[in-house]
Structure 1
């Protein structure tokens, strides 16, 4: 599926995503036009989905992160759809994951401080539909958060 050049392109883009096409082409030993064609092929294949800014929310004053494990009332046929749609509308929810098992959904919630988190929890989280059970896990430290792939 991926050849050596594709892997080298992806490795370099993971390391330095804002590198210009000419600089990246020089580093890879290919022409800019060849690199551009390869990048387009990787995009069309859905492998390269885009380049994004990674923002440090702590630098913006958010000091608290809480992981919420939510079990939904599965007797309601639209429980997942309704819950996820409503959770997407909460700005402080930065990640939503669904699971098979006892826990149905995990939400990552950020807040400026504990009083702000308590306000989000009471006013927004507890207002989400179809919650049967909820467990909060306070984030203490992020040990590994590697977004790059071993290419």
Structure 2
């Protein structure tokens, strides 16, 4: 599926997606036209999914991050779908993950401070449908956060 040239291109691209094809081509030893064609193919095959801005939410005044482990009342056949649909509408929920096991979902929630988190928890989180149990884990430090892959 991927050859060594694709891997070399992806290694450079994932660390500097802002570079144009000419600069990326120079770093990978390709011609600009070949680089552009390969990038288009990687995008077309769904390997490169997006270019996006990563915004530091702490710089915008959000100081609190909480992981909420949620178990749902699975006696309702649409519990997952209905919960996820409602949780998506809470702007401070920045990530939703599903699991198999005792915990069904994990929500990452950000807040400006503890008072803001308490207000969010009471008015937006606890009102989500089909919650059977919820556990809050307060984030203290992020040791590693890296979207780069070992290519």
Shorter-chain TM-score tier: over 0.9
Instruction: Please provide the CA RMSD for this pair.
Output: 0.7
> What 5-or-longer segments of structure 1 have no aligned partner?
none
Q: Spell out, residue by residue over 1:16-70, the C-alpha distance to the aligned partner (whole angstroms, 9 max, x if none).
A: 1101111111121211111111011111111111211111100111000000000
TM normalised by structure 1 equals 0.98
Q: Deviations over 1:86-119 (max 9, x none)?
A: 0000000000000000000000000000000000
SS state at 2:141 partner? coil
SS of structure 2 residue aligned to 1:67? strand
Please name the residue that 1:7 is paired with: 7
Equivalent runs, 1:36-75 vs 2, <5 Å = 36-75=36-75
> Equivalents in 1 of 2:106, 2:89: separation in Å?
15
After TM superposition, the score normalised by the length of structure 2 is 0.98
Task: Name 2:24's counterpart in structure 1.
Answer: 24
Match of 2:125 in 1: 125
Distance 2:68 2:86 in 1: 15
The CA distance in 1 between the partners of 2:19 and 2:34, in whole Å, is: 16
How far apart, CA to CA, are the structure 2 residues paired with 1:108 and 1:27? 37
Gap runs ≥5 in structure 2: none
Q: Which residue of 2 aligns with 1:114?
A: 114
Distance 1:94 1:8 in 2: 31
What stretches of structure 1 move > 3 A for 4+ residues in a row?
Answer: none
Larger CA deviation: 17-26 vs 55-64: 17-26
Tell me the equivalent position of 1:90.
90
Structure 2 CA distance for aligned equivalents of residues 111 and 82 of structure 1: 24
Aligned length in residues = 151
